[in-house]
C-alpha cells in the first residue's frame, strides 16, 4: 500500500510539473482529478462503512482439545455499490498461555448482497480461549486509501482437556489400594471381617458364624468375635496451578488439566465419592467442590481451567491450615516441570512420591495414563 501511495504522489508531481511547463487544458483537468480523487474516495469509503453489517458467531462454547471450531462471519452490504476490499482481523488468545494468534479475512461484497465466510480454528490447548475482533478496514479499488469499519465482538470458548480413561485391569488394583489404607474405628464395631474389633461372651441372637471356636474350646463359655468398622475417607483431588519457567509452560498446565479430568472421571465412573479443591488467585481463597455427578465434574474442571496460574504453592499451603484436610485422602496434582519441591519436605519429603495414605501426582505428557492407572508416580 505504501508503494502505491508513493507512485501516486510521483504521478501527481509529474502532472503538476507538466502544468507548470505547459499551458494545456488536458494536463490541468488531469491534475484536478488527481487532487480530488483521494477526497472523493475517502468520502465514498466512509459512506460505504455505514452500509456494512458484520456479524461473527460460533455455535459451540465448550469443545474438546484438538477439536476444530468454526467461526462464521456474515458481511451484509446494503449499499448499491460493491465493497472493493474488506480486511477483517480477529485475535485468538489463550488464558495462561503465550499463544496469541491473529487471523485475517480479505474479501469483497457485491452491492445489496450478503457474504458468509467460515474460518476453521484448531484448539491445540485446553483452557479458556478469548476471541475478539481487532480491526476492520475498507480499502479503495486501487488500495491507496483505507478507512476504519466497526465490528464489536468479544467471545470466549472453553476447551476441555483430553480425557484419559483407566484400563480394566487396573480397576482391581484400585480396590486393592483401598483395602490397604482404610482405617478402622476405635469406638464401635462393624461388619468388616478383615480386622477384629473385640472379643466377648456369646449372647442370644449373635451370629453363630462369628463364634471363635478355638478360644471357646479352652473355656466354659462361647467367645464371639466383633468385627471392625472401617472409616471411609473422602477422596480429595488438590490441584496446584503453578506456573513453570519452561518454554512449554502452556503444555505443562494442559497436563495438569488432563490429569485432574481423568482422575475425577475415574472416581465418578467407579461411584467413588470425592471432592475437588483448587486455589482461586482472584479471591485468594481455597475452593472445594463435592463431585457427585459427571456434570459437576465438568463444571469443576471448567472452573479450574478458567483460573489464572500463580508462582507460589498457594493451594498446598492453604490446604493444610483448612478444615478440608481432616478425614481426606489427598491426591495432590501439580506439574512435573515445577522444580522447587522444598515446600513439601514437611509433609512428603523431597521429590514427592507417596504421602502415606496420600499421593503426590506430578503430571507429565508421558505419564498421564500411568497416573490414572496406578494413582501415583515415583519420581
DSSP for residue 193: E
Quickly count helices (H) and strands (E) in the chain: 8, 18
- What pLDDT is attached to residue 330? 84
**11: pLDDT strictly greater than 90:** no
Tell me the C-alpha to C-alpha distance, in Å, between residue 350 and each of 15, 154, 340.
81, 45, 9
Q: What does the pLDDT read at residue 202?
A: 86
Q: Rg for the chain (alpha carbons), in Å?
A: 34
What are the tens digits of pLDDT across the range 64-102?
888 999 888 888 999 888 888 888 888 888 877 777 788
Contact 244, 225 (CB under 8 A): no
How many beta carbons lie within 10 A of that of residue 17, not counting itself? Answer: 11
Average the pLDDT over 305-328 and give the result.
79
pLDDT at 179: 45
pLDDT digits (tens, 9 = 90+) for 237-259: 999 988 765 555 567 888 889 88
Element (H, E) at 21: helix 2-21
User: Does domain 169-173+233-374 sit in CATH 3.40.50?
Assistant: yes
Beta bridge partners of 286: 279
Can you tell me the mean pLDDT for 278-283? Answer: 91
| Distance (Å, whole) CA 87 – CA 100 | 19
Percentage of the chain modeled with pLDDT above 70: 80
What are the sequence ranges of the domains in the chain?
Answer: 2-49, 52-160, 169-173+233-374, 186-231
pLDDT for the residue 354: 42
Three-class secondary structure of residue 305 per DSSP: helix
- The average pLDDT across 207-225 equals 84
* DSSP class of 246: S
- pLDDT score of 245: 59
Residue 176's pLDDT is: 43
Residues 6+ apart with CB under 8 A from 184: 190, 192, 195, 197, 228, 229, 230, 231
The distance from CA 38 to its chain's CA centroid, rounded to whole angstroms, is 49
pTM over 0.75: no
Considering the chain, what percentage of its residues have pLDDT values greater than 90?
8
pLDDT band at 277 (very low <50, low <70, confident <90, very high): very high
Residue for cell digits 482405617?
A: 183
Mean pLDDT, to the nearest integer, of 162-172? 63
End-to-end CA distance of the chain: 58
User: DSSP state, 307?
Assistant: S
Q: Which of 241, 247, 260, 301 is nearest to 99 (CA)?
A: 247
According to the model, what pLDDT value does residue 172 have?
46
**pLDDT for the residue numbered 279:** 93
Question: Could you give the CA distance from residue 212 to residue 336 in angstroms, rounded to a whole number?
Answer: 52
The size of the chain, in residues, is 379
Residue 301 predicted with pLDDT over 90: yes
Is the confidence at residue 141, as pLDDT, over 80?
Answer: no
Q: Is 126 helix (H, G, I), strand (E, B) or coil?
A: coil
Architecture of domain 52-160 in CATH?
Sandwich (2.60)
Local confidence band at 278 (pLDDT 50, 70, 90 cut-offs): very high
pLDDT category at 377 given cuts 50, 70, 90 is: very low
pLDDT band at 184 (very low <50, low <70, confident <90, very high): low
The SS3 of residue 291 is: strand
Amino acid at each position: 500500500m505504501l508503494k502505491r501511495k508513493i507512485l501516486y504522489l510521483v504521478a501527481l508531481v509529474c502532472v503538476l510539473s507538466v502544468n507548470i511547463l505547459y499551458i494545456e487544458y488536458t494536463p490541468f483537468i488531469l491534475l484536478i482529478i488527481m487532487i480530488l480523487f483521494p477526497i472523493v474516495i475517502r468520502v465514498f469509503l466512509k459512506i460505504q462503512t455505514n452500509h456494512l453489517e458484520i456479524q461473527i458467531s460460533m455455535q459451540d462454547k465448550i469443545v474438546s482439545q484438538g477439536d476444530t471450531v468454526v467461526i462464521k462471519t456474515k458481511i451484509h452490504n446494503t449499499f448499491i455499490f460493491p465493497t472493493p476490499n474488506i480486511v477483517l482481523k480477529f485475535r485468538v488468545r489463550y488464558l495462561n498461555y503465550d499463544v496469541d494468534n491473529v487471523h485475517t479475512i480479505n474479501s469483497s461484497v457485491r452491492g445489496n448482497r450478503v457474504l458468509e465466510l467460515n474460518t476453521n480454528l484448531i484448539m491445540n490447548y485446553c483452557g479458556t480461549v478469548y476471541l475478539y475482533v481487532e480491526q476492520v478496514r475498507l480499502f479503495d479499488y486501487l488500495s491507496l486509501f483505507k478507512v476504519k469499519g466497526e465490528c464489536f465482538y468479544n467471545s470466549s470458548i472453553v476447551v476441555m482437556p483430553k480425557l484419559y480413561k483407566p484400563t480394566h485391569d487396573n480397576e482391581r488394583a484400585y480396590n486393592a489400594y483401598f483395602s490397604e489404607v482404610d482405617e478402622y474405628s476405635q469406638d464401635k464395631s462393624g461388619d468388616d471381617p478383615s480386622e477384629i474389633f473385640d472379643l466377648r461372651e456369646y449372647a442370644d441372637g449373635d451370629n453363630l458364624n462369628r463364634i471363635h471356636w478355638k478360644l471357646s474350646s479352652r473355656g466354659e463359655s462361647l467367645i464371639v468375635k466383633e468385627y471392625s468398622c472401617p472409616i471411609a475417607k473422602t477422596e480429595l483431588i488438590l490441584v496446584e496451578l503453578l506456573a513453570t519457567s519452561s518454554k512449554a509452560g502452556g503444555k505443562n498446565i494442559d497436563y495438569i488439566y488432563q490429569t485432574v479430568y481423568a482422575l475425577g472421571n475415574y472416581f465418578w465412573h467407579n461411584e467413588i465419592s470425592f471432592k475437588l479443591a483448587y486455589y482461586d488467585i482472584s479471591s485468594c481463597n481455597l475452593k472445594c467442590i463435592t463431585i457427585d455427578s459427571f456434570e459437576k465434574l465438568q463444571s469443576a474442571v471448567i472452573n479450574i481451567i478458567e483460573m489464572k496460574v500463580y508462582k507460589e504453592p498457594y493451594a498446598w499451603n492453604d490446604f493444610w491450615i483448612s478444615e478440608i484436610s481432616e478425614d481426606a485422602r489427598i491426591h495432590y496434582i501439580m506439574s512435573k516441570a515445577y522444580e522447587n519441591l522444598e515446600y513439601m519436605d514437611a509433609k512428603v519429603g523431597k521429590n514427592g512420591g507417596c504421602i502415606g495414605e496420600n499421593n503426590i501426582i506430578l503430571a507429565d505428557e508421558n505419564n498421564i495414563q500411568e497416573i490414572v492407572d496406578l494413582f501415583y508416580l515415583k519420581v
